């Protein structure tokens, strides 16, 4: 069964989409079967994966009852994609008044959950109904954090929201880890915020750190993950290391849960 991992943070511009694309490619390079779902109407994970922007999205899946196999696209980088584009705004509004509005994605993924090792969800920078659907079906959250002054304040709010989501839609949801993005080790503020994150969240902070790297900013305009744009760049190496760490952590959690179950 796939690990469903939601990449989330209400804040925009923190590296969610960059992480979604490059972890999808990193896990695929490790021969994992990966599906990346773009839940952001901006569709950046879609175009950054070289996928047609006008293709079918979760709107078709949730509202028009299109079978899930018909909305899945194959990228040139090993992983599959359910695209996102502006039609998702209609999707968000279209499900608003449904009594089970948080569970459309969970229901849609049920027939294909065994076809993948990982299903990665790229969330929009808002707590809307699409994010609610991501958190409604995810096993794990990955939270990209930019090490800047307001990051800690934003995180406290985010953790509060996660507790509410656990109560209301998904009691099994767990934070797999916080990932430090756009890291500039020469900046004192970055170092301070990074230390604070380690102090407050200890083993929930990934050891891997994503440096600020111009190649990572360039790659989406070529419709490629960083490993295919510049495989030797610091950004590529960092995302490969993160992908391996995610795989280790997700599997360790799964085995730990199995041990708790009666034999």
Least Å distance between CB 44 and Mg ion? 5
Is 241 an interacting residue with respect to ligand ADP (CB under 6 A)? no
According to CB under 5 A, which one of 3, 11, 16, 224 is a site residue for Mg ion?
A: 16
Question: Which residues have C-beta within 8 Å of that of residue 211, sequence separation ≥ 6?
Answer: 182, 183, 184, 185, 234, 235, 238
According to CB under 6 A, which one of 2, 4, 5, 14 is a site residue for ligand ADP?
A: 14
Which part of the chain contacts Mg ion (CB under 5 A), choosing from 12-20, 61-69, 236-244, 247-255? 12-20
Alpha-carbon gap, residue 103 to 120, rounded angstroms:
16
Judged by DSSP in three states, 150 sits in coil
Judged by DSSP in three states, 38 sits in strand
Is 57 an interacting residue with respect to ligand ADP (CB under 6 A)? no
Cβ atoms 101, 95 nearer than 8 A: yes
Cβ atoms 77, 228 nearer than 8 A: yes
Is 190 an interacting residue with respect to ligand ADP (CB under 6 A)? no
Is 181 an interacting residue with respect to ligand ADP (CB under 6 A)? yes
Binding to Mg ion, residues 136-175 (CB under 5 A): none
Would you state the structure tokens that stand for residue 85, as one six-digit string? Answer: 């584009």
Phi, psi of 38 (to 5 degrees): -90, 110
The bridge status of strand 3-7 relative to strand 118-122 is parallel
Nearer to Mg ion, 40 or 230 (CB): 40
Is 46 an interacting residue with respect to ligand ADP (CB under 6 A)? no
Least Å distance between CB 42 and Mg ion? 6
Binding site for Mg ion (CB under 5 A): 16-17
Binding site for ligand ADP (CB under 6 A): 12-18, 44, 125, 181-182, 210, 212-213, 216-217, 220, 235
């Amino acid at each position: 069964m796939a690990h469903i991992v939601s990449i989330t943070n209400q804040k925009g511009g923190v590296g969610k989409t960059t992480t979604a694309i490059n972890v999808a490619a990193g896990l695929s390079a490790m021969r994992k079967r990966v599906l990346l779902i773009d839940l952001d109407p901006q569709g950046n994970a879609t175009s950054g994966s070289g996928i047609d922007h006008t293709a079918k999205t979760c709107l078709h899946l949730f509202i028009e009852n299109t079978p899930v196999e018909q909305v899945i696209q194959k990228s040139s980088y090993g992983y599959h994609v359910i695209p996102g584009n502006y039609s998702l705004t209609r999707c968000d509004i279209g499900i608003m008044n449904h009594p089970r509005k948080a569970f459309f994605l969970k229901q849609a993924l049920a027939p294909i959950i065994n076809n993948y090792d990982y299903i990665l969800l790229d969330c929009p920078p808002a707590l809307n109904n699409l994010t609610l659907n991501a958190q409604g079906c995810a096993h794990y959250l990955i939270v990209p954090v930019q090490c800047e002054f307001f990051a800690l304040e934003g995180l406290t709010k985010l953790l509060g929201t996660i507790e509410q989501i656990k109560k209301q839609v998904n009691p099994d949801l767990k934070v797999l880890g916080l990932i430090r993005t756009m890291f500039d080790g020469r900046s004192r503020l970055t170092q301070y915020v990074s230390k604070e994150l380690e102090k407050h969240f200890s083993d929930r902070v990934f050891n891997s750190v994503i440096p600020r790297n111009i190649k990572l900013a360039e790659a989406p305009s070529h419709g490629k993950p960083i490993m295919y744009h510049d495989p030797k760049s610091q950004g590529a190496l960092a995302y490969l290391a993160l992908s391996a760490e995610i795989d280790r952590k997700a599997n360790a959690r799964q085995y730990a849960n199995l041990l708790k179950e009666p034999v």
